[in-house]
Chain A
C-alpha cells in the first residue's frame, strides 16, 4: 500500500515486463467498461447539485470539484487488496530489511535504482521538446554512473547542481492536453489512471534490454528490480501510511485525490518551467 502513497512519477517510471502483462490484462478488463472510458478522472460536474455549487463564488483552488470514478467497483476491492498486501507482506519485509540495512545504505539503493531508470526520463523530456532537461538526464547518468559509483551517490546534483527532471509517458499524454481517462487502482502498483497505465507500459517498452535478452530474463530482472524498489521505498517511509490513516476519514478518497492532485501539479510544473 505504501506504493500507493508515493509520488506518482517515481512509481509510474518503474519498468518491468510482469507489470506490463498485469497492466495489459487490466486494460483488457477495463476495455469492457467502454462507456466508462469516455469519462475522465479530471473534475467534472455531472451532479446537478455540483453544478449549482460551481456557479456560486468559490475562492481560488476551491472549485468544489468532484471526481468521476466509474471504475470504483474494481478500484475499491483492489485498494483493499493493496492494503492487505502492505499489511501482511510489504511492511514486515521492509521492516526486517530496515533493521539489517542502515538508512544511508537504503538511500543509496534508492539512488541506484533511480539512476538506472534514466531512459523514460530522457525520452519523455525529449517528447516534450525539453532538450536541456533531456540532455541533463544524460549528463546526470554519465556522472552518477561513474563518479557516483554506479549511481549509489548523486554528485551530479551535489557538485554540479544538475537536478533530476522526473518525467514519464503519462505526463507526456497530459502535457499535450489529452485526457488520461478514469482513475484506476492497480494491484501491487497503487493509484493510476487508464492513460497513466498505458504510459507505464510505454515506458517499460523503452528498456533496451528487453529486446536483447530472452523475455524470461528481462521479466525476472525487472520484477526483481520492482520488488527491491518497493521494499526499499517502504523501508524509508515506515510510518507514512499509518500517519495517513490517522488523518483520513476515507482513506480511498484521500489516496485518490492525493494522486490526481499530484499528477495535475506535475504537468502544470512542466508547462511553467518553459519561458
Chain B
C-alpha cells in the first residue's frame, strides 16, 4: 500500500515537473540571481586570494569574470541619465568604452586592498519579473561589515548586474549625479576628457604595483 502511494506520488511529481514552465527546472546557475552573484563573488575571491600568480595575470582573470556578469552598456547608459539621448551614437559608444574602462580599473585597483575579507550571502528580493537584488556583506577580519548589494536584470535567460550599492549608496546613481553636474556646467567634451584622465591615472597606478 505504501509502495503504491509512493509510486503514484512519483508519477504525479514527474508529470507536474514536465508540465511546469521550463525555467523552474532549468539548471539553477543559469537563471538564478543569487547563483550568478555567488559564482561571480567566489571566483573573484579565488583570484584575490591567489597571491602566487603574477598581478597582471590576476587582473586579466578579474576582468574576464567581471565582463561576463556585468551589463556595462546598461550601466553607462544609466549613469548618463537623460543626457544619454542628447549625445550622438558615436559619443554614446565613446562614453561607454571610457566608462567601462574606468569602472573596471576602479575595481581592479582594489586588488591590493584585499586583507582576508569574507563574503556572506544574504537575501534575494525580486522587483518584478525582470529585476532582482542580492544582498551580501563583506566581513573584514576586524571591524564592521560593509553591506554590498547587487542589482540584476534578466537579459534573455541570464541575469546580469547593472548596479552595485555600497552601504546603501548606489554607485551608478552617484556617478549619475556627478555626470549630470559636469554635463550641465561644462558639457560632454569636458566630461569625456575628465573620465579618460581619471581612468589613465588609475591604470597607471595599477601598472606600478
Contacts and interface: CB of A to CB of B under 8 A. Distances in A.
B23 interface: no
Report whether over half of chain B's contact residues are helix, strand or loop; otherwise say mixed: helix
A258 B175 CA distance: 10
Interface residues of A, number: 29
A211 interface: no
A65 interface: yes
- Nearest 10 A-B pairs (CB), nearest first? A53-B82, A253-B178, A257-B177, A265-B168, A250-B178, A60-B127, A253-B181, A64-B81, A49-B82, A253-B177
Given A253-B177, A261-B170, A58 B82 contact: no
B173 A65 contact: yes
Interface string B73-91: 0100010011111100000
* Residue from B82, B85, B106 having most chain A Cβ neighbours under 10 A: B82
Contacts of A59: 74, 78, 127, 130-131, 151, 153, 162-163
B194 interface: yes
A249 interface: yes
A47 B82 contact: yes
A62 B173 contact: yes
A89 interface: no
Interface size class of B (residues with CB under 8 A): 35 or more
* Residue from A246, A248, A250, A252 having most chain B Cβ neighbours under 10 A: A250
A256 B201 contact: no
Contact of A262 (B85, B153, B169): B169
Contacts of B165: 61
B159 interface: no
B181 A252 contact: yes
B128 A261 contact: no
A58 B173 contact: no
B151 to A, nearest CB: 6
B178 A62 contact: no
A45 B45 CA distance: 41
A252 B179 CA distance: 11
Contacts of B168: 261-262, 265
Contacts of B49: none
A252 B194 CA distance: 14
A261 B169 contact: yes
Nearest to A52: B82
Given A52-B82, A247-B106, A254 B178 contact: yes
A72 B53 CA distance: 49
Given A53-B85, A60-B128, A246 B182 contact: no
B182 A249 contact: yes
Contacts of A61: 133, 151, 163, 165, 170, 173
Contacts of B194: 249-250
B86 A49 contact: yes
Contacts of A60: 127-128, 131, 133, 151
B38 to A, nearest CB: 21
10 contacts: A50-B82, A52-B85, A59-B78, A61-B133, A64-B176, A66-B81, A66-B177, A249-B179, A249-B195, A258-B174
